[in-house]
Structure 1
């Protein structure tokens, strides 16, 4: 159990809001911890709506994450490339990458444990083999490592920005220029800790290159190439330039158009990396799924 101590310099803010604003913890998690007695102020338990005073000492005993039992499941994975070191899977929309509270099974990791005899151990028992993630409602290519050597190599390639990751998206609005680069730092949204945003506060460098594939009457089909890999990066960046991805429940357009898709029209279409053992260039591609293609037909019908 990790222990943390804070001493706010300002007065008047709620205890739960101050903690969520000044840490990476969500407000709902903080509220649960306060209710369960993991948070004290000046040695006493207080409620979430306690109004802080300058100089108060906040002590947090961060509870250990809930242990999850990993069960191999035959999920009929769409394997694009595989050898003894790495595996590339075309993840369907709606599949979570690894188990978490609320998603104990049916994840990519559950499927990989059934399909593979070995996965790297670097990320522990809950995320074996997982080098990078894509969102639950984003479809497309993801690579997993079968041993620690492969895992370390792939992480280093991501860190050095030598991997190739290209996505396709359908956005609201007509992008006037054929291509461009969005260079805007991303961090937690100060107004909503469940979301990310372009912000100067506790942010990290984020760069997305985009190119128009096709313009429609009210929408644009684009490809987006990641230079960095921040949480929700493409979704946040496209909203930032006022061309949000259709179907996106967090960052999508205010004016809703009924597209035949559950979640954002975003697909990881290309993934390239150097093989961690042979140094051969591995380049994998996957066409957008049927629901994405239906969205293109829908966009053309306006």
Structure 2
């Protein structure tokens, strides 16, 4: 496995070790392989970790197959996968997940979004984050096991920004609010989450009202944390359940009206700012119907 990366023109001078550790967030285990096997090159020559890299240098990293534990993945529908891709380069792919499709299967025999994207890319892809089965919108996959832990760390450091739209019941008293309420598992139903006063996981959702309708409100939601069902639980806890959400008492609709509209990040290697917008025809269609009723 070989990757060649051209350093951006505005990169400050730093050592190879600083590049791998601070700039690229390469995990310790992979840094050890690169150092011990002398598998990092600068402009075609073997580089030491103390060597200084400069803007526009060409960095090549080499990995043996045993450097990563890669599980086999069954491929899905190539044409479907290609139709869902919004952005793709050598290291990552952003796709538009349809509603009522799993992000990944529970076992190797189950075909899900991950399998279709792998077929479209011609190689396995790796889940960085997931969307609920019922939720549509932008999902990020890593295209190789080298970038996967880097993207994982960026997600933990809140350097990957996800913006959702939700159509929910009722009217909001204010146009901007932050819901900071811990979430735990419902002791009566392990598949369901609830707001809890003690214990649970910290959960923070920022809400902005986009449009009022007669009995519904379209809101924009930004996640500060990424808990299971977070937006659905938080809105339901304020009596603003999302339409089409039977788990959290949402009014009946043809689909769950929750859509991951935007995904934004700074590319870990090129430092390019990437902002992708995902459009859902079924979400927009139901929105138009609500607006005209």
TM-score if structure 1 supplies the norm length? 0.68
Between the aligned partners of 1:179 and 1:236, the Cα distance in structure 2 is: 18
Structure 1 partner of 2:146? 149
Any conservation in 2 of the 1:68–1:100 contact (CA below 8 Å)? no
Moved more, 149-158 or 81-90: 149-158
Deviations along 1:11-34, one digit per CA (max 9) or x if unpaired, are xxxxxxxxxxxxxxxxxxxxxxxx
Any conservation in 1 of the 2:182–2:199 contact (CA below 8 Å)? no
Q: Does 2:113 correspond to 1:111?
A: no
Between the aligned partners of 1:138 and 1:209, the Cα distance in structure 2 is: 18
The alpha-carbon distance between structure 1 residues 195 and 89, as it changes in their structure 2 partners (threshold 3 A), is same
Structure 2 partner of 1:299? 290
Any conservation in 2 of the 1:173–1:218 contact (CA below 8 Å)? yes
Between the aligned partners of 1:98 and 1:113, the Cα distance in structure 2 is: 11
Structure 2 partner of 1:217? 214
Between the aligned partners of 1:68 and 1:163, the Cα distance in structure 2 is: 27
The count of residues paired between Structure 1 and Structure 2 equals 221
CA offset at residue 148 of structure 1? 2.1
Structure 2 partner of 1:70? 74
Any conservation in 1 of the 2:74–2:109 contact (CA below 8 Å)? no
* SS of the residue 2:80 aligns to: coil
Any conservation in 2 of the 1:186–1:197 contact (CA below 8 Å)? yes
Structure 2 partner of 1:159? 156
Between the aligned partners of 2:232 and 2:147, the Cα distance in structure 1 is: 29
Between the aligned partners of 1:199 and 1:271, the Cα distance in structure 2 is: 29
Structure 1 partner of 2:65? none
Structure 2 partner of 1:175? 172
Between the aligned partners of 2:96 and 2:199, the Cα distance in structure 1 is: 33
Between the aligned partners of 1:250 and 1:75, the Cα distance in structure 2 is: 33
Between the aligned partners of 1:282 and 1:153, the Cα distance in structure 2 is: 16
Between the aligned partners of 1:298 and 1:175, the Cα distance in structure 2 is: 21
Matches within 5 A, 1:36-47: none
Structure 1 partner of 2:37? none
CA RMSD of aligned residues (A): 2.1
Deviations along 1:173-203, one digit per CA (max 9) or x if unpaired, are 1112111100111121123211011114551
* SS of the residue 2:122 aligns to: coil
Could you tell me which runs of 5 or more consecutive residues in structure 1 were left unpaired when the two chains were aligned.
1-66, 120-127
Matches within 5 A, 1:229-268: 229-253=226-250, 256-257=251-252, 259=253, 261-262=254-255, 264-268=256-260
Moved more, 168-177 or 273-282: 273-282
Between the aligned partners of 2:144 and 2:234, the Cα distance in structure 1 is: 34
Between the aligned partners of 2:156 and 2:128, the Cα distance in structure 1 is: 11
* SS of the residue 1:113 aligns to: helix
Structure 2 partner of 1:140? 137
TM-score if structure 2 supplies the norm length? 0.70
The alpha-carbon distance between structure 1 residues 228 and 103, as it changes in their structure 2 partners (threshold 3 A), is farther
